[in-house]
């Protein structure tokens, strides 16, 4: 099952989608001080150059945290290999966290791999009068339920794999 995405997001160019995704993440950074968000960052390491769609850096207690963001403006489900590529970039660049943002949903294997390796998966979706729940064997669409974050409509679903094949969701607001 495909969770609906707003037409305006689907009609964006891949570059505009990257910028929009970073705007959504920027709204989630409330409370952080001295943070930076960059689009289209090039990171040079001893084994080469890496182009990153988005980059967030912030400092807490004198420790600098770095996050890589990859954005996929796809109509097909995100495969495990795409998540693995992001994980390889994390290791090569010495970055602490990875976030993969997509217009489409994620294959079960990609959700499991991301959960095992600490990568956040976010599907930008359409806020509406529905809620989708999913386990390994089934997907349920519940009409009449509108997920929200403290009264604000959601724009993204953060997916996590749990034991016994369950996938949990958190909702991002804009």
Cβ-Cβ contacts under 8 Å for 12 (sequence gap 6 or more): 20, 73
Domains of the chain: 7-173 (3.40.1350.10)
pLDDT per position as a tens digit, 4-53: 555 666 778 889 989 988 988 887 777 777 889 999 999 999 999 999 99
Amino acid 150: pLDDT: 47
Beta bridge partners, 137, equal none
Burial code (b: 16+ CB inside 10 Å, e: under 16) for 52-71 equals bbbbbbbeeeeeeebbbbbb
Query: Under DSSP, is residue 147 helix (H, G, I), strand (E, B) or coil?
Result: coil
* pLDDT confidence band for 103 (50 / 70 / 90): confident
Query: Under DSSP, is residue 89 helix (H, G, I), strand (E, B) or coil?
Result: helix
Distance (Å, whole) CA 83 – CA 62: 30
Please answer whether residues 100 and 82 qualify as being in contact, where contact means their C-beta atoms are separated by less than 8 angstroms.
yes
Amino acid 68: pLDDT: 96
Q: What is the mean pLDDT of residues 63-80?
A: 91
Distance (Å, whole) CA 122 – CA 90: 17
Retrieve residue 159's tokens: 């997916």
Amino acid 108: pLDDT: 87
Amino acid 162: pLDDT: 56
Q: What is the mean pLDDT of residues 142-147?
A: 44
* pLDDT confidence band for 95 (50 / 70 / 90): very high
pLDDT per position as a tens digit, 110-134: 988 988 898 988 887 765 433 443 3
CB burial class (10 A; 0-12, 13-18, 19+) of residue 161?
Answer: buried
């Amino acid at each position: 099952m495909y969770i609906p995405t707003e037409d305006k997001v689907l009609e964006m160019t891949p570059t505009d989608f990257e910028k929009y995704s970073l705007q959504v993440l920027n709204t989630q950074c409330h409370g952080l001080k001295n943070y930076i968000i960059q689009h289209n960052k090039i990171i040079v390491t001893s084994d080469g150059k890496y182009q990153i769609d988005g980059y967030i850096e912030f400092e807490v207690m004198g420790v600098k945290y770095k996050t890589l963001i990859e954005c996929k403006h796809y109509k097909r489900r995100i495969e495990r290999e795409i998540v693995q590529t992001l994980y390889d970039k994390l290791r090569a660049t010495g970055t602490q966290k990875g976030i993969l943002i997509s217009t489409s949903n994620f294959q079960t294997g990609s959700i499991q791999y991301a959960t095992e390796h600490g990568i956040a998966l976010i599907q930008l979706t359409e806020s509406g009068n529905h809620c989708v729940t999913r386990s390994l064997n089934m997907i349920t669409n519940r009409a009449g339920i509108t997920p929200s974050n403290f009264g604000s409509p959601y724009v993204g679903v953060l997916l996590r794999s749990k034991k016994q094949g369950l996938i949990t969701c958190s909702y991002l607001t804009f």
